[in-house]
Structure 1
Amino acid sequence: MEFRVLGPLEVLAGDFHIDIGGSRQRIVLASLLLEANRTVPISRLTDAIYGEDVPSTARAQTQICISALRRLFAMHGRPDLIITRAKGYALQVEQDVLDVHQFDDRVNRARQDHDLRHSEEAVRHYRSALSLWRAPALVDIDSLAVRAAVGRLDERRISVTEDCIDLELSLGHHRDLVAELVDLVAEHPLRERLRGQLMLALYRSGRQAEALEVYRAGRRSLVDELGIEPNEWLQQLEHGILTADESLRAPTVPRGSAVPAPAASDVDLTGPESSGPAPAAIRPVSIAPGMLPTDISDFTGRNAHITAVQEQLAQAQNDPERLAVPVVAIVGKPGVGKTTLAVHVAHKVAVDFADGQLFADLHGRGTQRIGPMQILERFLRTLGVPGTAMPDGLEERAELYRALLSDRRMLIVLDNVEGESQVLPLLPGHRNSAVLITSQSRLSGIPGVEHVDLDVFDSRQSVELLSRIVGTNRVSAEPAAATALAELCGHLPLALRIAGARMATRLNWGMDQLVERLHNETRRLDELKHGGMAIRASLSLAYDAIDDEAKRLFRLLAVVDFPAFSGWVGAALLDVSLPDAQDLLDELTDAQLVDATGTGFGMQSQYRFHDLIRIFARERLVEEEPVGNRNEALGRVLGGLLFLSSEAHQRIYGGGFLQLKSPAVRWTQPNNIVERIIAPPLPWFERERATILAGVRQAAQAGFVDLCWDLAITAVTLFELRFYLNDWRETHEIALAAVRRSGNRLGQAAVLYSIGALSMTEQRFADARRELESAIVLFRVVDNVQGVALSVRNLAFLDRMSGDFVEASRRYEQALKVFREQGDMVAAAYALHNLAQVRMECGSPEEAKRLLEEALDLSQRCGSRRVEAQVLHRIGSLHLQGGEAGEAAHVFDQALSAARDIGDTVGEAYALHGLGMAQLGAGAFEAASAALEKALDVATIAGEQLVEARVSLGLGELALAQNAPARAVGHLRRALDLFRRIRLPALEARAQALLADASAVAEQEIADSQRQGANDEGAAVTR
């Protein structure tokens, strides 16, 4: 298979263009291809599909798209292309099947030839690379996230084009390039390098006047649209053309010869961007103090934050009713760029504060923390107060400070503030002035403060900052390494600045060398150190400032490998109450050492580490926490996760039914706390889904075997209801390997039983039978009658599917006896309604009715809505079989409500199928069609082939009833194909019989139509 993203998205199998499907699947595939062979988090995929308006079903819909793509690739012999990773998915492709990889390879060859001065070969490779572009990258994909990502690809395309043209100009191909450059400049009018290349090509072609007009047109565009003059190097080029500078003459290079220099001429066409207007003159300190540190020349991004701060600072000016002093606090974690942003904004708004700017670093969380007394002394001296007139007390100094500022417009910038007490004495008394603060904590105790929260960069901004520090050419030469470097820096501006500074001082390094160094987590913080900048030092200040118990929680949080963690995790780590743990988590959040994810509130709040802070936490863990304490803490967390999962399962099924329990120790919590954590239970499972996946993996790695397998099979409550079959398979493969390594027979039996249930769900019935029979052998070895009964019950289902009703009845009755003895009423209800189905299929409706009434009573008494929905479906089928269509429709409607209440999509599809068939039986064809079409949509999205086949069969029957045999043939063929694929001979025979009838009627209609046409034609001739 071949994938193309350099233009409209295309997938080819040989010369055949594959239909990828709808827009969502195209967006998902495009996102995976843009990061081919790397993990793409599922959250990034949902953002790409939905943008900012993400529905609650986004995750499920995204996984449906992944499943659809997998099926599509499997049809073309590549079922392994998309693999599941811990945090998302990766599309694994070879180097030569993705056009962007081919583009990179050819560009790299061109640059190698260029370095070796094989100029003609370099041009050939450049042009070969550019020929792969059919249009702008992924031009047909309607997604803001994808468009943002492909912007980098389009930028690479134009940069490579410029490099190629530079080389061709150096070879004297200027006449051949003019037409292409005219089009490129028209497409990119503000791109000064292209404009310079066009000017040079025209001048060398003897078209001096046109070259100068190109300059003048470019200058007009820059002045009109950006308000800036052309860069100095472009101005020099214009001057050289005006004066017929000898250095601009075309070189005379024979074809095939080496070119000694990369540039097309002595004029540097890759010169620096304009530095912008010079800063305004600074007034004398005695009149207007200017204490701001210098602005950062390579300041990057943050446009929305700059606007927000400027607007807040200008509030008093724009609102005459406002009397309070504007106070803005920029808040964020260590190294996120708070000071850089504050200084940058302060310089931008300085013109609005004509009486000057004051600045102080309060060293908030450091050992050199400065109090307001010292700051006031410094400010008062700056404002002209001599030492002999300096007040002794804090209140007196604050009063004098406010008096001196009362008739001035001044900006006060307070950097690295720890708390409100440092700031309150430094606030001016009049709204003419404004205060800009940076802090790691939200300073809600300051009246009227407006907070601007600062987070890490996105990938584009990170690479842009690296480009500004290291140089565009070096970053462009290694785009993949630059992106990887940004990821390893966690997109933290301080880390990026350190990495960039190291690269800038090591001109002989490739960017991939630093990437390789940073890949080693144990040395990453050591590598992120340069001059006076160090990530570890910045984080240590925050860590040293928190309480001892918060420090212990911080380092113990590094024990767990969860992508995010809830408050109960902190409680389990420390073995304390949840409220106590949440207080400590709040302290860590205030210190910006952990981030609140914004999902869930109160006891359902979730938190996460920044990647570099997690590494720092692991260092503190190794240094300060004994190994025994670490293992005990991990055991409590995993035990707590199993306990809460079991409690959620019980609330879905009305008790501890249908469960196989291990002897693993649970870390329990009071029932009133549990209710608040896991209510409602299914959304709790969804919220903790990634935690469960990581918990199964970490339990296996740490040797907590019972916790591993028990957690895996308990999570099936979620996997089955939400159709997360990949998660089901992944967790059980990990658990099965763990129990086999340890020789844990109960665990092996339980996991094999659950894998058998997965195979049943996927309609791999032969695999399911083999796995269930193996589970029964092991359950009998460990004398676990519940496990044997659960496995026998599932074997009975397989017997029924294969048409062996006698054996199915025997097995259901065998399992039912055990469930009643064990007191598992939900399992008993499940067995009863399945046994009732066998009775219905064997022609004993009265016996089926009795069994179903008992099953419904048991499920309702236990509060198991899921089994209740299944029993109601069976009752509806019984009514339908007895010709009671109206009563059947009523019961199917109840089943539909129950399935939707618990989010059971497969149950919803079955209920809709039953409702449609009941309406068909009542002659309500339009209503039947709507219900069946909806059932088909739900079944197709869920990937449930059995119900899809049944619905297709029903649609065929409906079409026959509506005298539409041709339409019936299409539905029945689909049903027949599905029944054959999942090996259901009884249903296959029914579909075959109906198809034969429909085909005969359709053929007769065609023959009648042809005969009528011939008769009409003959009559016309006679006339």
Structure 2
Amino acid sequence: MEFFVLGPLTAGVGDERLDLGSARQRIVLAALLLDANRTVTVSRLMEAIYGHDPPVTSRSQVQNCVSALRRLFDSHGHPDLIVTTSQGYALQIPGARIDAQRFRATLVQARQARDGGRQAEAIDLYRAALSLWRGPVLDGVESRLVQSAAGRLTEQRITTVEECVQLELERGGHHELVDELARFVKEYPLREKLRGLLMTALYRSDQRAEALEVYRQTRQTWAEELGIEPNEHLQRLQRAILARDESLNPPDRHTPGAVERVRGRKGAPGMLPPSVADFTGRTEQLAEIRAHLTGEGARERSRLAVPVVVIVGKAGIGKTSIALHIAHAIAGHSPDGQLFATFQGGSTRPVGPLQVLERFLRALGVSGSAMPEGLEERAETYRDLLAARRTLVVLDDVVSESQVLPLLPGNPESAVIVTSRRRLPGLAGAAHVDVAVFEAEQSLELLSRIAGAERTRAEPEAADALAELCGHLPLALRIVGTRLAARPRWSLGRLVELLQDETHRLDELRYGDMGIRAGISLTYDGLGEEARRLFRRLAIMEAPVFSAWAGAALLDRSPAETDDLLDDLADAQLIEIVGAGRGLETQYRFHDLIRVFARERLAAEESFAERNDALARMLGGLLFIADAVRDRYYGRDVVIGSDAVRWALPAPLVAQFAAAPLAWLERERPFVLSAVRQAAHAGFAGLCWDLAMSIVPLFESKVYLDDWRESHEIALAAARRSGDRRGQGAILTSLSTLCHLDQRPAEAFRLAQAAVTAFEEAGEVRGAALATRHIGMLDWTAGRAREASSRYERALETFRATGDRVAVAYVLNQLAQMGLERGDTEGAERQLREALRLSREGDGRRVEAQVLYRMGHARLNSGGFHGAGESFERALAVVRDLSDPIGEVHALHGLGLVRLRQGEFDEAATALRRALTLARATNQRLIEARVLLGLGESSLRAGQAGQAVDLLKRALALFGRYDNVTAHEARALSLLGDARRALGETVPPGS
């Protein structure tokens, strides 16, 4: 059985043509054929038939179409042609049975023959490929989605015609090509290259007037419909035809001694395409490139090698525009000519240096039988011809160093500009210039230049939205601007609406020969299979930034295996490295439009089950790391976790993450918050609430109250939908803590009681005890000491029974504080000693630091300065090991007070100033006020009364924002009075 899509859709067995049934069946078959041997989702088939608004019966209609097609194929001996997958359907058939696949395979062979110098064979293969076409792709299949997908084949057909005709013209076949080219120009009126080929064929066929008429019609049509002029190539061609330039004559294949006569040639090659008229920005890059190529503004230096600049950036970033702009700007430095070649040019197979050398040598005067055959011979002739010339060589869209090396001139007075989507470290001494997307102002400037300044000023919000939707990518902005210029009656808002639909954004970002998808697809197709799979699956994550370990989870591979793949994607400009992080801190992100492309490929090439499994692994990996980080900070005994499956990462890697818990949480905060939302959306309730709980230490220490509230509301809703009472209890307890910090005591108490109920209904004894302990803290804060003590004792009994050492230590620390306030110093110290032992046994570093801090204040108040200082120093060591800046503030404050009581004023001031810097950096206003109070007292005792007045006033201003700080305010007022009296001021009694 064979299928034919390069024209009307048909299928046949031998000479028999099949009746493919209804229009809907033909659409389904067309969609399956365009993605043969890959799953096509049911939703995509529904969209193919009905567009964006399918009826409620659309899924069953798709199933009916597939069943009818299966019956048809079964009746002709092919019952298993369409297979069902977990996500949809796939047409399983060898590629040779589909004419489109045969076309692509023959095209590859033609290009291989062309690049190998076998021109006659290449032409035969090109013609064989084109003979498979019977008309427009899938002609008569009325489906927007199908026709959009078929556009790639149409693009390949036009490119094939252009490549084939170019070869045939070089071999003198102009007479036979005129009618064919005229037909294609009529069919594809916006293809500039086709028009140029037609003009050349007409001129060589002694139809000079007709060739000039093609140019006139082109200029008139484009001016009226597009508002643009023909490109520089067509303009130069028209001037050459008018001047009857000999270079347009048919090639002389029998001219002897051509190479020898080149040195006497008067003209210089001028192969540069035109610079972009509306070129925008890039001032710094242009200056850098110019300085390197010309030496302007640089110190005197020995120039023994050809200066090479490699302009690096993703597809559509504007590399070629920059190269051509600077090439024209410095053309005066290359009086012997400029050479230009494009290596990718939209082709699925990169152009080789052998072919480029042939073009360059022809431009330098070599023709006919004088053209060397092999690469080395051509490269030698090329260097020989440029030995006495000052030439600029521009090599566009290079893939690898091997394409560039044979094209480097030997004369250091020449210069080379290379554009590439990846860095080319193999080019020794080359300067690499990285090009990023536009800033917002540059985007609007380019949009205004193309679409019109008045239109963008009239709709400023829409203009901003267009720039954002284009990801500030110059090519996307150029396409949008050109579409607007071609449609003067369109509003910017209309185009914004079209681009907001992510599933069709790349379809809308296309105009004429310009398109975003083709450039990204070319890079994607050049990757290895595993790199392509990783690229697709990275799009599963909704977080804007992700770390390297996530790629390992998505592929179910070790981090070591995926690191090289991430490097490949970064080198290919498909992902970007964020910031200056290295090693474990390396993070990546997608450009918005590349993410859209990745999601397209993900939907087309991965089943729902594959995507869901990959997401679950990634979330499980994140939770695995978060568990270790939280254990390091809190200790293992004080956490209620879910039963969600973790995806294990290597222990040494996780240990390095956990070494600085708060630093890791800060770096991964956006990722964790995004993961909470994504887990809830995917129905992974346990992962959702457990991840939300994992980042609470950061919320608490950095006072990220809004993030805390949002993540927990999402998690609570997920736990309620799934009926997970343990998860509800955990989240309610955490929300109660949030309300307490937010000074909403009644709400905090209500949530904590609801948490106890949820835990008890889930049979979660430890959770109920943790919530009860939290209510005890709320009672104590509200002045209900008896109730607080009772709840603490109940929680303590449970924790001792369950062996939760860190939880026991935490409660003992609280009970000790209550004892100290009652004057029971001996009992409090006994409880603190036990708490310290248990926190260390349970590896609860944070609780250990809190106990040491409490010990320090207990000893300070009882006059044991040496023991107090030792406790604060040990607490300081722990919080620094945890990278806990807020804990460091408290420990340094305590240490400063000890030094102050000991009369060591300089040491006290040093510790307190460090505490003040950290308190301000972490936005801890209350502890900042207490530190200022300590600094004021230190200054007063050191005889610096004026400085003390200033510090104490600032402390009082901060204390005024809080309740329950009466003792601190009284102390500050007393010291302020002493400082004023020391300055000789009269201070009223009681002031």
Tell me if TM exceeds 0.5. Answer: yes
- Residue 664, structure 1, aligned to residue 644, structure 2: yes
Letter in 2 for 1:806: R
Letter in 1 for 2:692: A
Contact 1:502 1:530 in 2 (8 A): yes
Letter in 2 for 1:454: V
Distance 1:552 1:863 in 2: 41
Matching of residues 374-413 of structure 1 within 5 Å: 374-413=355-394
1:527 corresponds to which of 508, 528, 531: 508
Distance 1:949 1:307 in 2: 51
- Residue 356, structure 1, aligned to residue 337, structure 2: yes
- Residue 741, structure 1, aligned to residue 721, structure 2: yes
- Residue 880, structure 1, aligned to residue 857, structure 2: no
Matching of residues 712-723 of structure 1 within 5 Å: 712-723=692-703
SS at match of 1:330: strand
Deviation at 1:686, TM superposition (A): 1.9
Distance 1:888 1:823 in 2: 30
Deviates more, 1:970-979 or 1:833-842: 970-979
Distance 1:559 1:314 in 2: 46
Matching of residues 112-261 of structure 1 within 5 Å: none
Deviation digits for residues 385-442 of structure 1 (CA, Å, limit 9, x no counterpart):
2321111211111111111111111111111111122122111222122211111121
Distance 1:679 1:420 in 2: 42
Change (3 A) 1:803 1:937: farther
Contact 1:333 1:591 in 2 (8 A): yes
1:479 corresponds to which of 460, 473, 494: 460
Change (3 A) 1:925 1:372: closer
Distance 2:619 2:304 in 1: 55
Distance 2:610 2:556 in 1: 11
Distance 2:345 2:978 in 1: 86
Letter in 2 for 1:498: I
1:697 corresponds to which of 677, 685, 695: 677
Structure 1 residue aligned with 2:496: 515
Distance 1:675 1:531 in 2: 54
Deviates more, 1:958-967 or 1:581-590: 958-967
1:910 corresponds to which of 890, 913, 928: 890
Contact 2:676 2:688 in 1 (8 A): yes
Deviation at 1:458, TM superposition (A): 0.7
Deviation at 1:993, TM superposition (A): 7.4
User: Please, which runs of 5 or more residues in structure 1 have no aligned partner?
Assistant: 1-278, 1013-1023
SS at match of 2:304: coil
Matching of residues 802-841 of structure 1 within 5 Å: 802-841=782-821
Contact 2:890 2:927 in 1 (8 A): yes
Contact 1:949 1:978 in 2 (8 A): no
Distance 1:958 1:558 in 2: 57
Give me the TM-score of the superposition, normalised by structure 1.
Answer: 0.66
Change (3 A) 1:773 1:407: same
Structure 2 residue aligned with 1:276: none
- Residue 591, structure 1, aligned to residue 607, structure 2: no
Change (3 A) 1:714 1:404: same
Change (3 A) 1:557 1:972: closer
Structure 2 residue aligned with 1:287: 267
Letter in 2 for 1:339: T
Contact 1:706 1:747 in 2 (8 A): yes
Deviation at 1:751, TM superposition (A): 0.1
Change (3 A) 1:771 1:783: same
SS at match of 1:423: helix
Structure 1 residue aligned with 2:611: 630
Deviation digits for residues 852-891 of structure 1 (CA, Å, limit 9, x no counterpart):
1222233344444422221121111111221224542443
Contact 1:820 1:828 in 2 (8 A): yes
Contact 2:346 2:518 in 1 (8 A): no
Structure 2 residue aligned with 1:175: none
Structure 2 residue aligned with 1:69: none
Deviation at 1:542, TM superposition (A): 1.6
Structure 1 residue aligned with 2:429: 448
Distance 1:1000 1:379 in 2: 89
1:898 corresponds to which of 878, 889, 899: 878
Deviates more, 1:700-709 or 1:545-554: 545-554
Letter in 1 for 2:277: S
Give me the TM-score of the superposition, normalised by structure 2.
Answer: 0.68
Structure 2 residue aligned with 1:431: 412
Higher-RCO chain (CA-CA 8 Å, sequence separation at least 6): 2
Deviation at 1:956, TM superposition (A): 9.2
Deviation at 1:673, TM superposition (A): 3.6
Deviation at 1:678, TM superposition (A): 5.2
Distance 1:994 1:883 in 2: 19
Deviation digits for residues 928-951 of structure 1 (CA, Å, limit 9, x no counterpart):
677667756755664556646766
SS at match of 1:391: coil
- Residue 305, structure 1, aligned to residue 275, structure 2: no
Contact 1:956 1:971 in 2 (8 A): no
Deviation at 1:1011, TM superposition (A): 11
2:308 corresponds to which of 327, 332, 335: 327
Letter in 2 for 1:393: G
Structure 2 residue aligned with 1:849: 829
Structure 1 residue aligned with 2:172: none
Deviates more, 1:676-685 or 1:515-524: 676-685
Distance 2:336 2:320 in 1: 22
Letter in 2 for 1:906: I
Deviation digits for residues 92-129 of structure 1 (CA, Å, limit 9, x no counterpart):
xxxxxxxxxxxxxxxxxxxxxxxxxxxxxxxxxxxxxx
Deviation digits for residues 295-336 of structure 1 (CA, Å, limit 9, x no counterpart):
111111111111111122225997653322222111110000
Change (3 A) 1:949 1:774: farther
Deviates more, 1:604-613 or 1:477-486: 477-486
Change (3 A) 1:955 1:680: closer
Change (3 A) 1:1011 1:936: closer
Deviates more, 1:359-368 or 1:304-313: 359-368
User: Please, which runs of 5 or more residues in structure 2 have no aligned partner?
Assistant: 1-235, 248-264
Deviation at 1:286, TM superposition (A): 4.7
Distance 1:818 1:700 in 2: 32
Structure 1 residue aligned with 2:736: 756
Change (3 A) 1:743 1:371: same
Deviates more, 1:531-540 or 1:882-891: 882-891
1:784 corresponds to which of 743, 764, 774: 764
Distance 1:1002 1:389 in 2: 99
Change (3 A) 1:974 1:438: closer
Distance 2:972 2:388 in 1: 93
SS at match of 2:638: coil
Letter in 1 for 2:627: S
Contact 2:756 2:771 in 1 (8 A): yes
Distance 1:968 1:339 in 2: 60
Distance 2:659 2:987 in 1: 66
Deviation at 1:651, TM superposition (A): 2.9
Contact 1:342 1:413 in 2 (8 A): yes
Contact 1:364 1:418 in 2 (8 A): no
Structure 2 residue aligned with 1:468: 449
Q: Quick one: percent identity of the two aligned structures?
A: 51
Structure 1 residue aligned with 2:395: 414
Deviation digits for residues 213-238 of structure 1 (CA, Å, limit 9, x no counterpart):
xxxxxxxxxxxxxxxxxxxxxxxxxx
Structure 2 residue aligned with 1:706: 686
Deviation digits for residues 615-674 of structure 1 (CA, Å, limit 9, x no counterpart):
111111222211121111111111111111112222334x52321110111111221343
Change (3 A) 1:431 1:798: same
Change (3 A) 1:673 1:492: same
Letter in 2 for 1:400: T
Report the aligned-residue RMSD.
3.5
Structure 2 residue aligned with 1:106: none
Distance 1:880 1:996 in 2: 22
Structure 2 residue aligned with 1:769: 749
1:797 corresponds to which of 777, 783, 803: 777
Distance 1:898 1:1010 in 2: 44
